[in-house]
A = this chain, B = another copy of it.
Amino acid sequence: MTSERIQIVEKILDANDQVAALNRDQLDHYGIFGINIMASPGAGKTSLILQTIKALKDSFRIAVIEGDTAPVTIDSQKIAEQGVPAVQINTGGDCHLDAVMLSRGLGKLVLEDLDLLIVENVGNLICPAAFNLGTHCNVLIASIPEGDDKPYKYPNIYRNLQAVIINKIDLLPYVNFNMEYFEQGIKILNPKVNIFKVSCQTGKGISSWIEWLSVKRNSTD
């Protein structure tokens, strides 16, 4: 019985990767650069997306797919107010997005009108790491008040990333946070990852992230 259950799990994961590959083909066909933004609840995913839209909406045609565990439109509304198409995926209590959910989200967008797709995953440092969506780039937002031990405690999510954004650096004077220890934890798991230190509140550091993302986006043309 155990081996049967393991086989089922393998099949599901395999199916996810197959749909992820189809998603990637679709994005590439339309010349869309797709990024998957992950973080724990409240680390600043929506704030970073709003900053990114503000900085890049004149350069690229952007859309956002929002993963939410409950049917609330708090984040999607903030995105839509920026004049950018936003599709909300309610996971119905599930703790992550998967490739099939993203595929359905893509079906609600006019892909020929897009250059950059931003996916906001469900707020969770564990499960989203296990589901490839087919996007080109995985980005994790870490937040200063979460503490400097997170790469050591949640290693899986740090392994398959192209960028880590350390948000809320404006709170550094008020919390115990050893940046060296934190960065060391990241580099053990993922030596080549790009690290950006920002405050979505004040805007500090955002320009380096924007420059990196623009170069990445343009290298797909």
Cβ–Cβ contact B74 & A149, under 8 A: yes
Residue of B nearest to A130 (CB): B93
Interface of A is mostly: loop
Contacts of A153 in B (CB 8 A): 41, 68-70, 72, 74-75, 123
Task: Say yes or no: is A112 at the interface (Cβ < 8 Å to chain B).
Answer: no
Contacts of A174 in B (CB 8 A): 170-171, 174
Residue of B nearest to A147 (CB): B42
Question: Which among A40, A74, A155, A201 has the greatest number of chain B C-beta atoms within 10 A?
Answer: A40
Cβ–Cβ contact A156 & B124, under 8 A: no
Task: Say yes or no: is A206 at the interface (Cβ < 8 Å to chain B).
Answer: no
Task: Say yes or no: is A143 at the interface (Cβ < 8 Å to chain B).
Answer: yes
CA distance A143 to B43 in the complex (A): 11
CA distance A72 to B65 in the complex (A): 34
Task: Say yes or no: is A114 at the interface (Cβ < 8 Å to chain B).
Answer: no
CA distance A175 to B171 in the complex (A): 9
Known contacts A153-B72, A153-B123, A171-B174, A145 near B93 by CB under 8 Å: no
Task: Say yes or no: is A168 at the interface (Cβ < 8 Å to chain B).
Answer: yes
Task: Say yes or no: is A136 at the interface (Cβ < 8 Å to chain B).
Answer: no
Cβ–Cβ contact B152 & A74, under 8 A: yes
CA distance A150 to B201 in the complex (A): 18
Task: With both chains docked as a complex, state the minimum distance between the C-beta of A173 and any C-beta of chain B, in angstroms.
Answer: 9
B-contacting residues, A64-101, CB 8 Å: 68-70, 72, 74-75, 93-95
